């Protein structure tokens, strides 16, 4: 009996496709190893695109896509990429994916493409993507690399959306303005929105007193907000506090 138990063990050890380690690849970059609040990468676009939630949301999806697939392709090619030109190869992969995102967005949602303008192109220089390729995808299997890319994209997107939520609500007095989905438009100054702040009756009148805070629209507000989020994050997750 004991022998059979021992023999069965290697079978059981067959790695699950989405086990504990894989889950950690997704959750770590959202919390313990967040690209923005812990590694302080990708700040440039986080400052620039977060004036409205909807474009930030699109930007986050774009980064998740680019990060995940750049990781996947780099990992697939990792044993063929010549070491001396590996950075250039990574850059070509990222640039190709970003161009694909840009062309698709231009066809699907032209107004958002106009709003994000240069920042979609600038995903190429987003240090998160390149950083993950160098640090993770060059040394790990494709599936794990893909998940790591998704995780890092989500970690970036989560912070982007939190910042955008504050900036849009307090800077413009709207929520989800410019979104093509009618039901998503929460607060705004026209009848298209669920809560219309210019309405003469109903729930919108409760918010009519609000004067937009112009500081929140400027990039400096994003700086304060990100700094605040870093502070709160560390207060809550004490592992991150540097004891030295």
Cβ 186 vs Cβ 194: under 8 Å: yes
Give the footprint of another protein on residues 205-224 (CB under 8 A): 214, 217-219
Q: Pick from 236, 13, 156: which is nearest to 21 by CA?
A: 13
Query: Look-up: residue for tokens 């998740």?
Result: 64
CA 67, 72, 78, 81 torsion-angle sign: negative
Nearer to another protein, 180 or 228 (CB): 180
Q: Which of 21, 111, 139, 232 binds another protein (CB under 8 A)?
A: 111
Q: Look at strands 187-188 and 195-196 and give their pairing.
A: parallel
Nearer to another protein, 101 or 229 (CB): 101
Helices (H) and strands (E) in the chain, counts: 10, 2
Is residue 124 a contact residue for another protein (CB under 8 A)?
A: no
Instruction: Tell me how far, at minimum, the Cβ of 215 lies from another protein, in Å.
Output: 8
Is residue 87 a contact residue for another protein (CB under 8 A)?
A: no
First to last CA, the chain: 53
Cβ 151 vs Cβ 67: under 8 Å: no
Instruction: Tell me how far, at minimum, the Cβ of 216 lies from another protein, in Å.
Output: 8
Number of residues that bind another protein (CB under 8 A): 29
For residue 135, give both structure tokens.
Answer: 């640090």
Is residue 122 a contact residue for another protein (CB under 8 A)?
A: no
Site string for another protein, 161-190 (x = CB under 8 A): ----------x-----------------xx
Residues that bind another protein (CB under 8 A): 51, 80-85, 88-89, 92, 96, 99-100, 103-104, 106-107, 110-111, 114, 117, 171, 189-190, 192, 214, 217-219
């Amino acid at each position: 009996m004991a022998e059979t138990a021992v023999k069965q063990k290697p079978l059981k050890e067959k790695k699950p496709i989405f086990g504990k380690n894989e889950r950690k690849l997704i959750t770590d970059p959202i919390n313990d190893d967040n690209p923005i609040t812990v590694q302080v990468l990708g700040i440039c676009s986080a400052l620039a695109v977060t004036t409205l939630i909807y474009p930030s949301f699109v930007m986050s999806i774009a980064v998740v896509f680019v990060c995940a697939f750049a990781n996947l392709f780099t990992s697939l090619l990792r044993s063929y990429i010549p070491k001396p030109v590996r950075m250039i190869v990574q850059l070509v992969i990222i640039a190709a994916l970003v161009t694909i995102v840009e062309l698709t967005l231009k066809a699907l949602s032209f107004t958002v493409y106009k709003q994000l303008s240069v920042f979609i192109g600038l995903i190429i220089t987003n240090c998160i993507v390149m950083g993950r390729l160098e640090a993770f995808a060059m040394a790990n299997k494709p599936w794990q690399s893909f998940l790591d890319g998704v995780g890092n994209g989500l970690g970036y997107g989560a912070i982007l959306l939190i910042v955008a939520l504050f900036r849009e609500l307090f800077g413009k007095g709207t929520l989800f303005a410019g979104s093509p989905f009618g039901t998503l438009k929460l607060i705004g100054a026209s009848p298209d929105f669920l809560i219309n702040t210019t309405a003469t009756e109903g729930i919108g009148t409760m918010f009519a007193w609000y004067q937009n805070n112009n500081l929140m629209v400027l990039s400096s507000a994003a700086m304060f907000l990100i700094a605040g989020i870093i502070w709160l994050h560390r207060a809550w997750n004490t592992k991150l506090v540097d004891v030295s």
